[in-house]
A and B are shown apart, each in its own frame.
Chain A
């Protein structure tokens, strides 16, 4: 156990120096690409905002089912099957058909080539499930159908979220999917997420619709409140143009009226429809509806054929800017709710770094002094190993550009405390060996060999705990699992290679010395 070949010594030296260099790239700037890596600081250390958003898919499902009733009715009309009493209840569609038609309707839904009910061969499942309840037929989304629907609305939503966050222009945001109905947004350096929160909280569903007094409007009517929540107006459900028709939107100052407005440009289809609607609707009020609330309802005075227009509604410059941003980035497929928020100010982050570093330095000093007092020369070997170990640990974290969090720093300090364990196990074993063995080299060899199983056991148990934490823990706690887990490997390396190398050099030079340890 005490023999080291020249090649191995070279390897150990190179390996250690390499990681020390990588670790030091956190302090100095290297031009080289390989060394130009840094440990990422977690949001709890650099400050920033962590937002977990959940997509509320209820309205999407509701809307899809609504559309489906029409599709079903039309589909079977072509086949001369009459659908009766069709209604939606608790995300189920119910309808009646005559007993003669029942089987053919069931067949259509269960046909793998059905164009009404898409089939996913990969999951061996249809989008919709149909069930004969006895007095009517029940149609609802299958498990796979719901998953498809959720992932597609998640895909759309994450795109819109990304656009909105990018428009605000924060530093390297991190936007990730979580499950099939959540989106994680990490915004480093942002200490007041108020604006982003309010931007993400809006669906931004924009429609232009005429105000009407005719309760029997062909498309149906609904009563909507104005933004201020006081007034109400009856608005037709017929959509003239919607947010999808917008090419661009910008906040502007209307110098004549001395107010801030949002000017917009329409695409070709939108421009055409807007032109037609404004020419036939002169004198009528056109309501501009955002997320179910009327922003304003100006009276149409002229035909607007240019494909551009403006929205006024008592905006401040900030609200106009935000509205324009929302309109440019598009509407979310479904409302988002912020279900978890964690924001750390940059000064608290810096305080945490300072406190963590002070604790690390003090913890390190205490352990080093303790080991030196307890083991003298072997304490010194342990301490040198401990320092190299710390650098290798930092080097590995740097190499993988791991994220360091406050609990992660605690993990490093704990590693320092526990790293001596392996050396202590070895040294204590050597002491025992020396009681019956006069040959120093044999005693040292025995010490290393006999302590090996205990060291392995001890480290595997800690590693198991770290692995579970890594997979089950979230955010900062994950950082603790990383440093604790990586620390185990670097500790084993430094104990079995570096400390053993020093020990072997020392022992072979003092072969005959008594009471070596």
Chain B
């Protein structure tokens, strides 16, 4: 049996630091919102001429008076991603850009993807993204509240917040782009983290009923160990699937799968070191479970 409980305090401290640092990053550095949430124009461009590279593209685009233009390689040497604000929301901007690029590059390039999101739509998308995440957290809270005692609910929700905040903190730290698919990833993380916590909690509660003489500090450790191989196998297969998406699923799914990978890692960690320590700190005992059951009767 692994003594997970030996490190409860250490990891609680670590998580507190992680959450504080993440919150500071989110407040002061903020998130790198993509055009979905900030508005603007994105062009994915494929070049068939080696003359076309990041610097020559940047030169051309900077001459077009589009405001802040970002040009990056996208996956391989011939694909580029160009993003700009399109502040005045010009109507025929794509046609103008094409005409302009034709002059320098002929037709040795191709627009593979064009996205243009107006300011109204982007603020609506941001709003609905925030609502979706809040709603999912609220629903999870309600679900776990129905299923478990309040101490368990608190533990599970703290674990959820930890996972979401730290994942977003990492996105902020590395200035990774937040787009619509990241919202999907965050929601899935919420589901996964909850799933993982619930499985351990289920066992904790079962053991609480079984043993009246074991303290919660020991009991959580027993429960974590009993469910450990399941935790490891499920995380492993989920991570294998996600790694396959990350490495082979193409450039578009990279951010999504990265967020999910982080979420699965943190979700697994928080089920053990956050959700359970909340039970220990709230001194959950056999009485907690039995009292609740009597109340229900």
Contacts and interface: CB of A to CB of B under 8 A. Distances in A.
Contacts of A432: 226
Contact of A480 (B135, B184, B241): B184
Interface string B107-146: 0001111111110110001001101100110011001000
B118 A339 contact: yes
Contacts of B94: 194
A454 B187 contact: no
A441 to B, nearest CB: 22
A465 B191 contact: yes
A187 interface: no
B195 interface: yes
Nearest to A342: B115
B286 interface: no
A151 to B, nearest CB: 19
Contacts of B233: 370, 374, 420, 424, 428
B228 to A, nearest CB: 9
Interface in A421-463: 421, 424-425, 428, 432, 453-454, 457-463
A463 B120 CA distance: 31
Interface in B192-207: 192, 194-195, 198-199, 202-203
A407 B234 contact: no
Contacts of A201: 91
Interface stretch (A59-67, A153-161, A468-476): A468-476
A358 interface: yes
Contacts of B168: none
B113 A359 contact: no
Contact of B198 (A374, A454, A480): A454
B238 A477 contact: no
Given A339-B121, A465-B188, A465-B191, A359 B198 contact: no
Given A424-B233, A464-B143, A457 B202 contact: yes
B244 A460 contact: no
Contact of B112 (A52, A348, A407): A348
Interface stretch (A76-84, A245-253, A349-357, A389-397): A349-357
A52 B241 contact: no
A340 B121 contact: yes
Q: Which of B111, B112, B247 has the most CB of A within 10 A?
A: B112
B250 A352 contact: yes
B101 to A, nearest CB: 14
B91 A477 contact: no
Nearest to A44: B252
Nearest to A450: B206
A311 B115 CA distance: 37
A334 interface: no
Contacts of A472: 128-129, 131-132, 135
B34 to A, nearest CB: 13
B278 interface: no
Contacts of A367: 237, 240-241
Determine the main DSSP class of A at the interface with B: helix
Contact of A457 (B120, B139, B195, B241): B195
A469 B250 contact: no
Q: Which of B118, B234, B239 has the most CB of A within 10 A?
A: B234
Contacts of B239: 417
A338 B260 CA distance: 33
Interface stretch (A259-267, A312-320, A408-416, A492-500): A408-416
Contacts of A217: none
B140 A477 contact: no
Given A341-B115, A358-B248, A462-B191, A420 B136 contact: no
A343 B248 CA distance: 23
A343 B113 contact: yes
Given A461-B195, A473-B183, A424 B241 contact: no
B149 interface: no
A416 B112 CA distance: 30
A355 B245 CA distance: 9
B293 interface: no
B53 interface: no
Given A339-B121, A473-B180, A413 B199 contact: no
Contact of B230 (A338, A366, A425, A476): A425
A418 B238 contact: yes
A416 B241 contact: yes
Contacts of B120: 54, 339
Contacts of B243: 363, 366
Nearest to A478: B184
A397 B181 CA distance: 21
A428 B229 contact: yes
A425 B116 CA distance: 46
A348 B240 contact: no
Contacts of A464: 136, 139-140, 143, 191
A354 B120 CA distance: 34
B113 A466 contact: no
B190 interface: yes
B47 to A, nearest CB: 14
A290 interface: no
A370 B241 CA distance: 11
Contacts of A453: 202
B180 A458 contact: no
7 tightest A-B CB contacts, nearest first: A417-B241, A363-B244, A355-B250, A465-B191, A472-B132, A359-B249, A339-B118
